[in-house]
Structure 1
Amino acid sequence: MAQRLLLRRFLASVTSRKLPQGGWAPLTSKALQTPQCSPGGPARTVFTTRVCSTSFNIQDGPDFQDRVVNSETPVVVDFHAQWCGPCKILGPRLEKMVAKQRGKVVMAKVDIDDHTDLAIEYEVSAVPTVLAIKNGDVVDKFVGIKDEDQLEAFLKKLIG
Structure 2
Amino acid sequence: MAQRLLLRRFLASIICRKPSQGQWAPLASRALQTPQRSPNNLTVTPSQAQSIYTTRVCTVTFNIQDGPDFQDVVNNETPVVVDFHAQWCGPCKILGPRLEKVVAKQHGKVVMAKPDTDDHTDLAIEYEVSAVPTVPAIKNGDVVDKFVGIKDEDQLEAFLKKLIG
TM-score (norm 2): 0.68
Could you list the per-position Cα deviations for residues 59-99 of structure 1 after superposition, in whole angstroms to 9, with x for gaps in the alignment? 1111111111x110000000001110000000000011111
Find the counterpart in structure 1 of residue 134 from structure 2. 129
2:119 equivalent to 1:114: yes
Displacement of 1:51: 2.2
Matched ranges for 1:24-103 at <5 A: 29=27, 49-68=55-74, 70-103=75-108
Q: Partners of 1:49 and 1:101 in 2: how far apart?
A: 18
Question: Cα–Cα, structure 1 residues 33 and 57, in superposed 2: closer, same or farther, change >3 Å?
Answer: farther
Other structure's SS at 1:141 match: strand
How far apart are 1:149 and its partner, in Å?
1.2
Displacement after TM superposition at 1:46 (Å): 8.6
Number of residue pairs the alignment of both structures matches: 130
Q: 1:120 to 1:102 in 2, by over 3 A?
A: same
Structure 2: tracts of 5 or more residues without a match: 1-25, 32-43
SS of corresponding position for 2:115: strand
The C-alpha deviation readout for 1:2-37, integer Å capped at 9, x for no partner, is xxxxxxxxxxxxxxxxxxxxxxxxxx956x876xxx
Is the partner of 1:123 in helix, strand or coil? coil
Flag as ranges the 4+ runs of structure 1 deviating above 2 A.
45-51
CA distance in 2, matches of 1:97, 1:120: 26
CA RMSD, 1 decimal: 2.6
TM-score (norm 1): 0.70
Identity percentage of aligned residues: 84
Structure 2 match to 1:5: none
Question: How many Å separate the matches in 1 of 2:162 and 2:80?
Answer: 12
Gaps of at least 5 residues in structure 1 are: 1-27, 35-39
